[in-house]
């Protein structure tokens, strides 16, 4: 490419090279000139309704496309988004947070201007962002701008975590060296030395000697960029495979040796036995928070586990092979695996008292409306398996923190469907804006794929409690405006039922103000004929789920499901609320 071009063009070109097709954000006077460059760069500008929503949407987009970018303004804008950035850090979404900041002459003179704290210190917000981003850059010297941008984006790629870039408004159009743009930005190869070779050999040996192996696909697998390689491994080995709630759908859940979600202490006895009796667990993308591991009970025993992470592989409880990222290790392993040495289903059957059905994966069956009394009020115990009948290949199901995230783990997924549930950050209000970003990413991806057999594949289905719905509800306007294919299912249980389960279920602070939820599309400017429906009984639910307008619509649709305020899905929440009674 060579030559020079304006800073903004360099930055946006890099983002585009990294597969970003849309940028989220909110205008503010320190970023307006930067925004002038967005659409000319061939990027879609998605003006969100506020910065927190924009941050959440970017996170959702990044989880599907691999990376996303957000533009806010100094102080007021960036701080509104910082909770979303923290969530992307905690759960590894590659979000590039670009902040338009005051011109350099004001920073230099410590001028007392708007969007500052009035103390002349322009570095507060960068310092705050440093807690929740893996790299920060202030693009104030045009000579170093290309290198700063590249170095910062590289950290974002490597860690799949947010980075922070300040663009002073007076350098947006200043020319910078464009030479580096000729080469796409890629993570440099890890140079293979003795350590790495020894590591891969050790892992291969453990794999080849395993008699009762299990594969456990965990929540950071997508962030590691190894979903494809793990799928290969699952196919090659045919080994029993589990996911956690946060990784459901990263592997074809309809394969016979894929057992679905491992719930730790809440798993079936058979699943618990399989884990207990395993002599090797290949654990990809471990994310060991209490909420992701059924209160630490789904973590496999360290001594028999090989963990694959961003930077290293740990074998058992002794050795950590550093500088051996999951992707590197797994590529090498897949080349070197010797089929005949692998413990197989056949082998396992022979050594395992020959009960054939023991090798078929046990999955929650889809429920049928024939199994319930149609006039009964809907209960969470049945709801999730009934909702699962609505799913199609290609869907992305999102279940918000609250009873939804717990309940959704009871849903069987069709092939190529994916479930997104919160792992650790658990910020209520996240999922609705995130569904905007997810649906946008889904639409972009569908354009690059060969035409699907489904005329209307790629739905984003958001299930969200009425409490969480309220926090960020206005992002529904953006979903509608961009005509995204999103089904929103609001669970109306009059408040924060998950909190009722945790403590003092009758406390009024867990109630919310009662809204007319189904008016949302009209209020937020959607066309008058947007599909909305409500369901109180199973009969209602069946009618709604079978409605063509709901299932095959192409834009926003919305369903309100009424539930009892104390009703929780089977499992830990139901146990907790029962103990209070």
Segment holding 562, helix H or strand E: strand 557-562
> In the complex, what is the shortest distance from the CB of residue 310 to a second copy, in angstroms, rounded to a whole number?
13
> In the complex, what is the shortest distance from the CB of residue 541 to a second copy, in angstroms, rounded to a whole number?
24
> In the complex, what is the shortest distance from the CB of residue 507 to a second copy, in angstroms, rounded to a whole number?
7
HSE value, Cβ hemisphere, 13 Å, CA-based, for 356: 0
Instruction: CB nearer to a second copy: give 307 or 412.
Output: 307
Could you give the maximum distance between any two Cα atoms of the chain, in Å? Answer: 80
Instruction: CB nearer to a second copy: give 213 or 285.
Output: 285
**Residue 525, Ramachandran bin (φ over 0: left; ψ between -120 and 50: alpha; else beta):** left
Instruction: CB nearer to a second copy: give 257 or 310.
Output: 310
| Cβ atoms of residues 261 and 409 within 8 Å | yes
CA triplet 41, 45, 50: central angle to 5 degrees?
Answer: 145
Q: What are phi and psi of 561, to 5 degrees?
A: -110, 125
Sheet holding 241-243, edge to edge: 258-261, 241-243, 213-217, 280-284, 305-308, 313-315, 319-321
> In the complex, what is the shortest distance from the CB of residue 351 to a second copy, in angstroms, rounded to a whole number?
36
> In the complex, what is the shortest distance from the CB of residue 111 to a second copy, in angstroms, rounded to a whole number?
7
Instruction: CB nearer to a second copy: give 263 or 385.
Output: 263
Instruction: CB nearer to a second copy: give 50 or 331.
Output: 50
Helix, strand, coil shares of the chain as percentages rounded to 5? 45, 15, 40
Instruction: CB nearer to a second copy: give 360 or 507.
Output: 507
Write out the binding residues.
466, 493, 495
> In the complex, what is the shortest distance from the CB of residue 513 to a second copy, in angstroms, rounded to a whole number?
4
CA triplet 114, 117, 119: central angle to 5 degrees?
Answer: 110
Segment holding 106, helix H or strand E: helix 104-108
Structure-block tokens of residue 140: 């104030």
**What spatial distance separates the first Cα and last Cα of the chain, rounded to whole Å?**
69
Q: Measuring CA to CA, how many Å separate 219 from each of 154, 322, 510, 559?
A: 22, 21, 30, 29
Structure-block tokens of residue 540: 């209602």
Q: Could you give the 3-state DSSP secondary structure of residue 72?
A: strand
Instruction: CB nearer to a second copy: give 287 or 410.
Output: 287
Instruction: CB nearer to a second copy: give 369 or 515.
Output: 515
Q: What are phi and psi of 24, to 5 degrees?
A: -95, 160
> Distance between CA atoms of 500 and 506, rounded to whole angstroms?
7
> Distance between CA atoms of 57 and 70, rounded to whole angstroms?
9
**Burial tier of 119 (Cβ tally within 10 Å: 0-12, 13-18, 19+):** exposed
> In the complex, what is the shortest distance from the CB of residue 72 to a second copy, in angstroms, rounded to a whole number?
10
> CB neighbours of 510 closer than 8 A, spacing ≥ 6?
495, 496, 497, 499, 500, 504
Unique residue bearing structure tokens 């059905």? 357
Write out the binding residues for Mg(2+).
466, 493, 495
Instruction: CB nearer to a second copy: give 114 or 415.
Output: 114
> Distance between CA atoms of 314 and 107, rounded to whole angstroms?
46
- Measured in residues, the chain has a length of 581
> In the complex, what is the shortest distance from the CB of residue 290 to a second copy, in angstroms, rounded to a whole number?
5
Instruction: CB nearer to a second copy: give 118 or 193.
Output: 118
> Distance between CA atoms of 312 and 325, rounded to whole angstroms?
5
> Distance between CA atoms of 486 and 461, rounded to whole angstroms?
6
> In the complex, what is the shortest distance from the CB of residue 470 to a second copy, in angstroms, rounded to a whole number?
5
> In the complex, what is the shortest distance from the CB of residue 482 to a second copy, in angstroms, rounded to a whole number?
9
Instruction: CB nearer to a second copy: give 113 or 190.
Output: 113
> Distance between CA atoms of 255 and 320, rounded to whole angstroms?
32
Neighbour-count burial for 229-243, b at 16+ CB within 10 Å, e otherwise: bbbbbbeebbbbbbb
> In the complex, what is the shortest distance from the CB of residue 462 to a second copy, in angstroms, rounded to a whole number?
17
44-47/241-243 β-pairing: unpaired
Instruction: CB nearer to a second copy: give 138 or 470.
Output: 470
> In the complex, what is the shortest distance from the CB of residue 166 to a second copy, in angstroms, rounded to a whole number?
16
Q: Could you give the 3-state DSSP secondary structure of residue 440?
A: helix
């Amino acid at each position: 490419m060579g030559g020079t071009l304006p800073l903004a063009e360099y930055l946006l070109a890099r983002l585009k090279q990294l597969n970003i097709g849309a940028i989220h954000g909110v205008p503010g006077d320190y970023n307006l000139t930067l925004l002038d460059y967005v659409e000319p760069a061939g990027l879609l500008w998605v003006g969100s309704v506020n910065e927190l929503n924009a941050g959440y949407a970017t996170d959702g987009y990044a989880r599907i496309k691999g990376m996303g970018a957000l533009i806010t303004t100094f102080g007021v804008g960036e701080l509104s988004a910082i909770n979303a950035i923290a969530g992307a850090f905690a759960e590894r979404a590659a979000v590039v947070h670009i902040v338009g900041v005051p011109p350099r002459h004001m920073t230099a003179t410590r001028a007392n201007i708007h969007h500052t704290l009035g103390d002349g210190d322009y570095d507060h917000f960068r310092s705050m962002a440093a807690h929740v981003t893996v790299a920060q850059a202030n693009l104030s010297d045009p000579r170093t701008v290309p290198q700063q941008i590249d170095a910062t984006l590289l950290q974002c790629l490597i860690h799949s975590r947010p980075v922070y870039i300040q663009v002073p408004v007076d350098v947006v159009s200043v020319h910078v060296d464009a030479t580096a743009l000729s080469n796409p930005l890629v993570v440099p190869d890890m140079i293979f030395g003795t350590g790495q070779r020894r590591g891969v050999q050790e892992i291969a040996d453990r794999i080849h000697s395993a008699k009762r192996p299990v594969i456990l696909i965990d929540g950071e697998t997508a962030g590691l960029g190894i979903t494809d390689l793990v799928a290969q491994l699952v196919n090659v080995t045919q080994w029993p495979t589990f996911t956690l709630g946060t990784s459901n759908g990263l592997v074809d859940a309809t394969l016979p040796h894929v057992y679905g979600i491992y719930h730790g202490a809440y798993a079936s006895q058979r699943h618990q036995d399989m884990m207990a009796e395993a002599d090797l667990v290949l654990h990809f993308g471990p994310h060991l928070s209490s909420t992701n591991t059924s209160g630490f009970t789904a973590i496999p025993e360290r001594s028999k586990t090989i963990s694959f992470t961003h930077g290293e592989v740990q074998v058992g409880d002794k050795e950590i092979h550093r500088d051996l990222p999951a992707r590197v290790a797994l590529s090498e392993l897949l080349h070197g695996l010797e089929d005949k040495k692998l413990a197989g289903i056949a082998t396992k059957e022979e050594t395992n008292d020959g009960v054939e059905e023991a090798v078929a994966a046990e999955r929650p069956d889809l429920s049928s409306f024939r199994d319930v009394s149609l006039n009964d009020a809907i209960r969470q115990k049945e709801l999730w398996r009934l909702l699962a009948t609505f799913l199609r290949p290609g869907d992305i199901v999102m279940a918000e923190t609250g009873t939804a995230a717990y309940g959704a783990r009871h849903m069987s997924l069709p092939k190529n469907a994916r479930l997104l549930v919160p792992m650790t950050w658990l910020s209520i209000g996240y999922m609705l804006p995130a569904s905007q970003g997810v649906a946008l990413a889904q639409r972009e991806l569908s354009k690059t794929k060969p035409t699907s057999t489904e005329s209307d594949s790629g739905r984003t289905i958001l299930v969200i409690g009425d409490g969480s719905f309220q926090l960020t509800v206005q992002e529904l306007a953006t979903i509608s405006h961009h005509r995204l294919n999103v089904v929103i299912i609001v669970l109306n249980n009059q408040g924060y039922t998950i909190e009722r389960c945790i403590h003092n279920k009758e406390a009024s602070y867990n109630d919310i103000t009662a809204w007319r939820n189904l008016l949302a599309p009209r209020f937020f400017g959607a066309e008058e004929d947007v599909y909305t429906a409500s369901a109180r009984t199973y009969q209602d639910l069946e009618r709604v789920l079978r409605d063509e307008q709901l299932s095959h619509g192409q834009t926003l649709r919305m369903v309100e499901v009424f539930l009892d305020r104390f009703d929780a899905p089977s499992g830990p929440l139901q146990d907790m609320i029962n103990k209070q009674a």
